[in-house]
Amino acid sequence: MRRRRLRSKGSRPDGHARQARRDSDPHSVDREREKHSRALSSEHRSRSGGVFFTGSEAGREAGQQAAGRIFGARTVDRDAPTSWQTRLAQYDAVCAWGQPNHSMLERVSAIDMPVFVANGDSDPMILPRYSYLLAGLIPGARLKIYPDAAHGFLFQHHAEFAADVDAFLTGV
């Protein structure tokens, strides 16, 4: 089956120089992993809104509602919890994806299908400027930046995001 539309959530193009690790110190990976682990901890999220939701009252409320939907609503047929090895593999993949490579960055301009790029305006993981960059490199891409939202914008603005994706997929 050939894909006719592509949706990109909190993404940035491969090969952008600013994505790469900031130094070549072999211990920097461990420090970065530890920093991200702390950022994802429940204590940090409750204090600051974390990486998924902003620290505003609306962001904290959205985080609590999303947690209720994700962790409280479904009690059977749940996904298996991820492991520490899965988290490390994901981090390593992100680091590899971010190695500067101008030819990889140029490749996204060859995408010849409609693309919907979406992100939160306060996403600390995928800075909104990368969403603008990605959308700017893809001919005819649609971009939507959700207000007062971080990396979990699709959970915070779930109804609006679902409507936007539906409109995009149906060609409206």
pLDDT of residue 28: 54
In a domain, 132, yes or no: yes
Helical ranges in 51-152 per DSSP H: 57-67, 84-97, 102-107, 128-137
Place of tokens 């779930």: 158
Determine, yes or no, domain membership for 127: yes
- Rounded to the nearest 5°, which phi and psi values hold at 115? -130, 135
Q: What is the pLDDT of residues 67-113, one digit of tens each?
A: 887 777 777 877 788 888 988 888 888 787 777 778 877 888 999 99
CATH assignment of the domain containing 100:
3.40.50.1820
- Tell whether 43 is covered by a domain: yes
Question: Does residue 164 form part of some domain?
Answer: yes
Residues linked to residue 118 through DSSP beta bridges, in sequence order: 9, 144
- Asked whether the predicted pLDDT for residue 6 surpasses 60, the reply is no
Asked whether residue 21 is domain-assigned, the answer is no
- Within a domain: residue 18? no
Exposure of 146 by Cβ count < 10 A (0-12 exposed, 13-18 middle, 19+ buried)?
buried
Task: Report residue 13's pLDDT band, with 50, 70 and 90 as the boundaries.
Answer: low
**Residue pLDDT, tens place only, 20-37:** 444 444 455 555 555 555
Contacting residues for 105 by C-beta, under 8 A, at least 6 apart: 13, 14, 15, 16, 137
Residue 24 placed within a domain: no
CA separation for the pair 50, 87 (Å, rounded): 17
The answer as to whether 17 is a domain residue is no
Looking at the structure of the chain, the number of domains it has is: 1
Name the residue range of residue 145's domain: 6-12+29-72+83-169
